[in-house]
Amino acid sequence: MKKQQIRPRKTRRHMDDTLKAKIVLEALKENMTLNELSTKYEVHPTQISTWKRQFLENASSVFSGDKAAAQELKDLREEREKLHQQIGQQTMDIEFLKKNLK
């Protein structure tokens, strides 16, 4: 009976978004082939193609911005302002009550 050799499990490599963008931009320049880029950055060519496709699909959002996020930010700022006003009003009420109870 042959003993099976136990190999350590490979863990997934997590790439920084900045590096992904750099690789995609190099792929878009087409100065190097996908195979050359994959060898240079030790990434599978299919992965580079996937990142490139995702980049191109979401490119318009760079210029339009995220309108939903902008609206949510505006709403949160308005809510914060209302809460600050409420805190100020309650502080004044507390001070008034402290003076009248003495």
Please name the helix (run of DSSP H) or strand (run of DSSP E) that holds residue 55, with its range, or none: helix 45-57
Q: Which two tokens stand for residue 73?
A: 């930010």
pLDDT at position 19 over 60: yes
pTM to 2 decimal places: 0.55
Q: Which two tokens stand for residue 30?
A: 């087409």
Residue that the structure tokens 């996937």 belong to: 50
- Domain coordinates in residue numbering, the chain: 16-63, 66-102
pLDDT band at residue 1 under the 50/70/90 scheme: low
Q: How does DSSP classify residue 5? A: P
Q: Positive or negative CA dihedral for 71, 76, 79, 85?
A: negative
pLDDT digits (tens, 9 = 90+) for 38-83: 999 999 999 999 999 999 998 877 777 677 778 889 999 999 999 9
Please name the helix (run of DSSP H) or strand (run of DSSP E) that holds residue 6, with its range, or none: none
